[in-house]
């Protein structure tokens, strides 16, 4: 939508009512709003009330003359750059003209004015005023649009953070349900089968004993699967021992599962942050390992976790093929987008640096204090 410029205003200042009327008749065809003032004092009040495309100012007036009025108009920020054309009925000497220009005039015109000349000069100022007004309106509209976009982005980021928090809470709940309810039920069932086998081992047929052993073995496999699923949802080590231990556990699991050597270096002074940061960093670490396994074709990963007074830093480096700029900028890279959102939710930063055939380095930094609002379930 193209902004509509407001109608330009022209201020005519003259102590002669006949001159004011004549000027109105000459300028009415410009289509501008014509405002009149009969003295310098009244002109100053008008300038405070409105913005003008140009000011026609009589030089010789009782009280405050045109030169003084022009100087005072120029002193006010709102009218500092308004074009002023001096009107005079007498032939001004060179000194008076210099004084007029020093007062802020852009031109001198003799009375009686030539209507065509006056209209053509003022038409230029009116056109400039209209273009400037439209430009200001466009800038204001653009600023408003940018503000709305920023607000929308902040709302979406807050929503994404909230959804991640809700999902994490659900993972914790499901993991506990699986571990406590299903795990305990299977363990109880295993003990019952063992007790049954002990009671019936002397009199039971061999095939029944073998079947009971097979059931016990199957239950052991199910229990191991339950533990693995629960750990995948929410590793107990993260809540029970802390972030540093969870990193080491995840690295061992990754190395065992993929065969990629994973070395974790945690600073001796590192202390676990709050639960929200611990969860975010752990999930970022998991996602980075998953990306390496899927795309990097690496044989080695080096991980460094450290902490300063102001921030927590994570650096993950692999010796794979190296991430490409096109992959970083692609809207299809949802994994990288998710990584950024997890980090940005805490006012942090994440940087990817890849070199063809030499691997990728990902650097994550999360402030020790929250700089943006983080929603939690």
CATH number for the domain that contains residue 242: 3.30.565.10
* Strand duo 84-88 + 54-58: pairing: parallel
Residue 225 contacts residue 263 (beta carbons within 8 Å)? no
Tens of pLDDT, residue by residue over 72-97, are 888 888 788 888 888 887 665 556 66
What value, to the nearest 5°, has the Cα angle with vertex 59 and ends 54 and 62? 120
Work out whether the CA dihedral 25, 30, 36, 41 comes out positive or negative: negative
Whether this model's pTM surpasses 0.75? no
* CA atoms of 159 and 172, how far apart (whole Å): 20
Tens of pLDDT, residue by residue over 290-339, are 889 888 889 999 999 999 888 999 999 999 998 887 777 776 666 777 78
pLDDT recorded at residue 5: 54
Residue 153 in domain: no
If you average pLDDT over residues 197-206, what whole number do you get?
Answer: 67
181 shares its domain with 168: yes
* CA atoms of 74 and 106, how far apart (whole Å): 12
Q: How many helices (H) and strands (E) does the chain have?
A: 12, 10
> Domains in the chain: how many in total?
3
Residue 213's domain comprises 163-233
If you average pLDDT over residues 165-190, what whole number do you get?
Answer: 69
224 shares its domain with 329: no
Q: Which of 204, 233, 262 is the last residue of a domain?
A: 233
Residue 246 in domain: yes
31 shares its domain with 69: yes
278 shares its domain with 360: yes
Q: Which is nearest to 89 in space by CA: 113, 69, 71?
A: 113
SS3 272: coil
245 shares its domain with 227: no
Residue 301 contacts residue 285 (beta carbons within 8 Å)? no
245 shares its domain with 229: no
If you average pLDDT over residues 338-365, what whole number do you get?
Answer: 88
Q: For a pLDDT cut of 90, what percent of the chain falls above it?
A: 17
Residue 155 in domain: no
Gyration radius (Cα) of the chain, Å: 40
CATH code of the domain in which 77 resides = 3.40.50.2300
* CA atoms of 336 and 188, how far apart (whole Å): 43
Residue 132 in domain: no
Residue 293 contacts residue 258 (beta carbons within 8 Å)? yes
Q: What backbone phi and psi angles, to 5 degrees, belong to 373?
A: -70, 130
331 shares its domain with 256: yes
* CA atoms of 20 and 26, how far apart (whole Å): 10
Read off the pLDDT band of 148 (50, 70, 90). confident
Residue 349 contacts residue 365 (beta carbons within 8 Å)? yes
Tens of pLDDT, residue by residue over 246-283, are 899 889 989 998 999 999 999 888 888 888 888 889 88
If you average pLDDT over residues 37-52, what whole number do you get?
Answer: 89
* CA atoms of 65 and 60, how far apart (whole Å): 6
* Strand duo 54-58 + 9-13: pairing: parallel
256 shares its domain with 316: yes
Please report the beta strands in the chain, taking only residues with DSSP state E, as ranges in sequence order: 9-13, 33-37, 54-58, 84-88, 105-110, 261-266, 300-307, 311-318, 349-355, 359-367
298 shares its domain with 242: yes
38 shares its domain with 92: yes
């Amino acid at each position: 939508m193209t902004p509509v410029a407001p109608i330009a205003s022209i201020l005519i200042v003259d102590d002669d009512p006949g001159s004011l009327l004549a000027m109105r008749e000459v300028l009415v065809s410009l289509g501008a709003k014509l405002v009149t003032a009969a003295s310098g004092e009244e002109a100053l009040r008008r300038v405070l009330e409105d913005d003008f495309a140009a000011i026609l100012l009589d030089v010789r007036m009782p009280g405050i003359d045109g030169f003084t009025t022009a100087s005072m108009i120029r002193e006010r920020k709102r009218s500092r750059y308004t074009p002023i054309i001096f009107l005079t009925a007498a032939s001004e000497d060179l000194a008076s003209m210099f004084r007029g220009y020093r007062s802020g005039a852009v031109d001198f015109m003799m009375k009686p004015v030539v209507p065509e000349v006056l209209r053509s000069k003022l038409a230029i100022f009116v056109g400039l005023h209209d273009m400037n007004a439209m430009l200001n309106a466009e800038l204001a509209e653009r600023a408003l649009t940018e503000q709305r976009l920023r607000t929308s982005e902040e709302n979406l980021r807050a929503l994404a953070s909230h959804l991640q928090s809700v999902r994490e809470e659900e993972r914790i709940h499901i993991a506990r349900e699986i571990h406590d309810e299903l795990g305990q039920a299977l363990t109880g069932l295993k003990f019952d089968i063992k007790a049954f086998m002990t009671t019936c081992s002397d009199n039971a047929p061999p095939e029944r004993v073998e079947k009971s052993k097979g059931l016990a073995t199957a239950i052991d496999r199910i229990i191991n699967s339950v533990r693995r699923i629960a750990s995948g949802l929410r590793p107990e080590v993260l809540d029970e021992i802390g972030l540093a231990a969870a990193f080491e556990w995840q690295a061992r699991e990754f190395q065992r599962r993929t065969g990629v050597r994973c070395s974790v270096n945690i600073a001796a002074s590192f202390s676990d942050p709050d639960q929200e940061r611990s969860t975010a960093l752990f999930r970022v670490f998991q996602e980075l390992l998953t990306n390496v396994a899927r795309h990097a074709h690496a044989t080695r990963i080096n991980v460094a976790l450290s902490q300063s007074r102001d921030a927590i830093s994570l650096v993950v480096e692999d010796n794979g093929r190296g991430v490409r700029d096109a992959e970083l900028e692609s809207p299809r890279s949802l994994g990288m987008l998710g990584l950024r959102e997890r980090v940005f939710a805490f006012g942090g930063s994440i940087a990817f640096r890849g070199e063809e055939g030499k691997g990728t380095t990902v650097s994550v930094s999360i402030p020790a204090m929250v700089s943006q609002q983080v929603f939690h379930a």
